[in-house]
Amino acid sequence: MIDIVEANGARVVEANGVHIPKIGFGTFQLEPAVARARVRDALVTGYRHIDTAQIYDNEEAVGAGIRDSGVPREEILVTTKVWVDRFRDGDLQRSAEESLKRLGLDDVDLLLLHWPNPDVPLAESVGALNDARRRGLTRHIGVSNFTVALVREAVAESDAPLVTNQVEYHPYLAQDALREELARQDMALTAYCPLGQGRIFHEGVIRRIARTHGKEPGQVVLRWQYEQPGVAAIPRTSKAERVHSNFDIFDFELSDSEMGEIACLARADGRIINPAGRAPAWDNPG
C-alpha cells in the first residue's frame, strides 16, 4: 500500500490494486438538496472521490449530483456503505441493489460494512459482501469502524482483498496501531471527520502553521493527512466555499517538524464519534 502520482498529477493511495484519491468528499448529515448541490460542486472543483451511505438517506441526491456535474462516471470513485440492519446474507445483496437504484448507477467502486455488528457472524457479512462483488454490484469491498482485531478477522474471512477501513481520524485522535495493521494488509485508511468537526481550528499550533503558509487551519489539517502514506480523507461541508477551500491544499507542503507538531495534538479524549451500543472496543479508546 503506497501513495502514487497518476498521469493527471493527482496523488492517490494504491490499496490492493485500487487507486483511491487522497482527498474526497463526504456527505454525512447532508440533507438531500444540499448533498446534491455540494456533490456537483465538489466534482466540478476537481474531487474524484464521493462517499455516501444507506443510513445517510441521501444516496438518490448524491447520484443526481454526480449526473449534474457532467464528470464521466469512470473518473469518479463512488463509495456507499451497508447499514448494520442489512448484514445478513441475501439481505445485504438486496440492500446493495437498492443503493444502486437510488444512486442511479450500475455499480459502486467501494461497498463497505458501515459498523461492526456482533449480532451477525462476521463470516456471514463478509461472505455476502464478497457475493455482492461477484454479482457486479460493486467493484471492490471494505469495512468501516473496524478495530485491528476485526480487520484481521474480516481479511481472513474474505475471498477478495479488502481495500479500506473508513474510520474517524484527525490530529486529536491517534490511529497508529490501526494504520500499521492496515499497511500490513495493503489497505488504506479513509479518514472521516478529518477536521475534527472544526474543534481543532483554534489550536495554537495549527493557527501558527497556517499563518506560516498563508493558509486556513482546515487546509493545514487536510494537508497533514494528505502527506501521510496510506491515508485518504473525506471532509464534509454544506458550504460551497468550503468545498473549494478544502481542495486548495496542493500548493504548499508541511515540514517534518510541522507534521510532528500536529501529530502531538493527539489526546485521550479525542474521539468524537462513539455511539453507545454500536461502537466496538476501540484500539485507542479516546
Give the residue numbers annotated as catalytic, written as ranges.
56
Whose cell is 475471498? That residue is 159
Containing 208, the helix (H) or strand (E) segment is: helix 204-213
Q: Are 246 and 235 in contact (CB under 8 A)?
A: yes
Residues near 180 by beta carbon (within 8 Å), at least 6 away in sequence: none
Q: Which three cell numbers stand for residue 110?
A: 467501494
Secondary structure class of 101 (helix, strand, coil): helix
User: What letter represents residue 120's amino acid?
Assistant: V
**N-terminal to C-terminal alpha carbon distance within the chain:** 26
Distance between CA atoms of residues 114 and 192, nearest Å:
12
Distance between CA atoms of residues 26 and 154, nearest Å:
24
The 8-class DSSP code of residue 161 comes to P
Tell me the pairing of strands 25-26 and 18-21. Answer: unpaired
Distance between CA atoms of residues 147 and 175, nearest Å:
10
Q: Are 222 and 248 in contact (CB under 8 A)?
A: no
Give Cα 256 to chain centroid, integer Å.
25
